[in-house]
Amino acid sequence: MERVIVSMQDPDMGMKMRNQRLLITVIPHAMTGRDIVDWLIQKYTITEEEALHIGNFLVKYGYIYPLKEPRNLCLKQDETPYRFQTPYYWTSTRWPASELDYAIYLAKKNIRKQGELIEYEKECYNALHKRINHTWDFVVMQAREQLRASKQRRKADRIVLECQEQAYWLINRPPPGVMDILEQGPDRRNVSDVMLYMWCLPLKNKLCMFVWVCSFVKYCEQYQDHDPIMQGCLPSNPWITDDIMYWNMNSETVTMPTKLRVERWSFSFMELLNDPLGRKELLTYLEKEFSAENLCFWQACEEVRHGEASKIAAKVDEVYKQFLAPGASRWVNIDSKTMEKTLEGIKHPHRFVLDDAQMHIYFLMKKDSYPRYLKSELYKNLLAKAIVPQETKKSVFPFMRRQRHSSPSPALVTQTAEDNGKAKPSAAKANAGTASQI
């Protein structure tokens, strides 16, 4: 904000000031609200709405104060006069704004207005009188001194000083009901005593840099049609039309998925695995190829990694029995070095003991099974049959809003299963199906 204020006061490119008539007094170096907004529009190439928004903050934070209606700290986009606050009172200086200072200010006002303070100021004044009663003589003496000194000034200066001080206190002691603009939330530690160390990794070459930067462009282009905020979605965005068809058509348990969804599986192996339906399709394909144990093993490893600490040993044992033991029913084909290391590690099972084996199988699927799946009849048929939904237009009569249907809470699904004494298929599926971030 100070940067903006300094720019506004620039002798060449800053605001044009003029004298403002306030009743019978002429106040120099003032500007109108309209001028402020216009200057902001011109300087930052922004809209009127944004300029007014910023201008309002300059007033609310006390960098500019109004000459008329000084209690109303807002920017009016008309001939209302404003002035720059003196840096002494800038919010950033963070004077402690102590009770003593406030008391002196109120005392001055009280004397000047002969006891006719505004309600809340009267309350504050009385409260302060009670609280710092022992220094009250000092307060009154200071107040009288400051008033006497100000009487020596020209009327215009006196008015300006009073306005500046009033603006300062309006911000530091906001009236009841007015937002406290200075509230920052819980204190954060300041960084001092810093250990500063820098390092440079080997400087990569320009070609790599170019490839990496291009990858963002590629990614955005690839996903553009799948981005509902950018391109919309079919049949319609539920938040706009209140129609939840889009969610129903893309749910986990749908029989026939949409074309976009099936297409997305071809973007990366992660996309296929992240979609429970995609994973199911992959499993079907792998079963045909007699390599389904890979996917099952990978899933079992995920459950070890992300499961309860107390169940790790038991789960690892299960995995060993099913997938790793010699002659196991679903033995996975891992290279001997990894297998040796894993079997050794299993003797003292921990959360990450299966990581190497899991990675090996993951990359095996990614490099081998996944590309073949994408070329398979299974995938191609599904893609051909996949649905392209019809667009649902927003209701022609805007006041006839569609009823917004509620959906069963995910917590309910689990609870019902529990109540029925069954195992928790939904929860497990939900966990497995959401075993990644996307």
Partner 1 sequence: NFCVIFITFEGFLSRAGEANFPLAKMAAQEVQPSETIAKLKSESEALKTKLEEERAKLHDVELHQVAEKVDPLGQFVMKTRRTLKGHGNKVLCMDWCKDKRRIVSSSQDGKVIVWDAFTTNKEHAVTMPCTWVMACAYAPSGCAVACGGLDNKCSVYPLSLDKNENLAAKKKSVAMHTNYLSACSFTNSDMQILTSSGDGTCALWDVESGQLLQSFHGHAADVLCLDLAPSETGNTFVSGGCDKKANVWDMRSGQCIQSFETHESDINSVRYYPSGDAFASGSDDATCRLYDLRADREVAIYSKESIIFGASSVDFSLSGRLLFGGYNDYTINVWDVLKGTRVSILFGHENRVSTLRVSPDGTAFCSGSWDHTLRVRE
* Residues 11-40, interacting with partner 1 (CB under 8 A): 40
* Dihedral (Cα; 23, 26, 30, 32), 10-degree rounding: 40
To partner 1, the closest distance from the beta carbon of 335 in angstroms equals 18
* Residues 405-424, interacting with partner 1 (CB under 8 A): 405-407, 409-412, 414-415
To partner 1, the closest distance from the beta carbon of 287 in angstroms equals 23
To partner 1, the closest distance from the beta carbon of 197 in angstroms equals 5
Q: Which is nearer to partner 1, 138 or 210 (CB)?
A: 210
* Residues 127-186, interacting with partner 1 (CB under 8 A): 179, 185-186
**CB burial class (10 A; 0-12, 13-18, 19+) of residue 135?**
middle
| Of the residues 88, 95, 138, 212, which one makes contact with partner 1 according to CB under 8 A | 212
Q: Which is nearer to partner 1, 144 or 351 (CB)?
A: 351
- In the DSSP assignment, the letter for residue 365 is I
Q: Compute the distance between CA of residue 265 and CA of residue 334 in angstroms, rounded to an integer.
A: 26
Residue 354: strand, helix, or coil: coil
201 is a contact residue toward partner 1 (CB under 8 A) = yes
Burial track 340-362 (b if 16+ CB lie within 10 A, e otherwise): eebeebbeebeeebbebbbebbb
Considering only the stretches 70-78, 86-94, 193-201, 338-346, report the one whose residues sit in contact with partner 1 under the rule CB under 8 A: 193-201
Q: Which is nearer to partner 1, 28 or 87 (CB)?
A: 87
| Of the residues 146, 322, 338, 431, which one makes contact with partner 1 according to CB under 8 A | 431
* Residues 343-402, interacting with partner 1 (CB under 8 A): 351-352, 355, 359, 362
For residue 261, the Cα-to-chain-centroid distance in whole angstroms is: 27
Q: Which is nearer to partner 1, 18 or 226 (CB)?
A: 226
* Residues 220-279, interacting with partner 1 (CB under 8 A): 220-224, 226-230, 233, 237-240, 244, 246-247, 250, 269-270
Q: Which is nearer to partner 1, 108 or 264 (CB)?
A: 264
Considering only the stretches 80-88, 322-330, 338-346, 429-437, report the one whose residues sit in contact with partner 1 under the rule CB under 8 A: 429-437
Smallest Cα–Cα separation from 342: which of 323, 369, 329? Answer: 323
Q: How many residues bind partner 1 (CB under 8 A)?
A: 94
Q: Tokens in use for 194?
A: 């810093």
Smallest Cα–Cα separation from 8: which of 43, 52, 60, 33? Answer: 43
| Of the residues 94, 130, 134, 189, which one makes contact with partner 1 according to CB under 8 A | 189
Q: Which is nearer to partner 1, 135 or 237 (CB)?
A: 237
Q: Compute the distance between CA of residue 55 and CA of residue 40 in angstroms, rounded to an integer.
A: 8
Q: Tokens in use for 360?
A: 């090996």
9 is a contact residue toward partner 1 (CB under 8 A) = no
Q: Which is nearer to partner 1, 185 or 327 (CB)?
A: 185
Q: Compute the distance between CA of residue 26 and CA of residue 23 in angstroms, rounded to an integer.
A: 8
To partner 1, the closest distance from the beta carbon of 221 in angstroms equals 8
- In the DSSP assignment, the letter for residue 258 is B
| Of the residues 11, 96, 176, 202, which one makes contact with partner 1 according to CB under 8 A | 202
H or E segment to which residue 317 belongs: helix 312-319
Contact call for residues 50 and 43 (beta carbons, < 8 A): no
193 is a contact residue toward partner 1 (CB under 8 A) = yes
Smallest Cα–Cα separation from 159: which of 366, 45, 19, 263? Answer: 19
* Residues 294-313, interacting with partner 1 (CB under 8 A): 302, 305-310
Q: Which is nearer to partner 1, 325 or 412 (CB)?
A: 412
Alpha-carbon distance values, 134 to 97, 122, 137, 254 (Å): 19, 19, 8, 78
Per-residue x/- marks for partner 1, 45-84, CB under 8 A?
-x--xx--xx--x---------------------------
Angle at 190 between CA 189 and CA 196, to 5 degrees: 120
To partner 1, the closest distance from the beta carbon of 30 in angstroms equals 23
Q: Compute the distance between CA of residue 139 and CA of residue 160 in angstroms, rounded to an integer.
A: 23
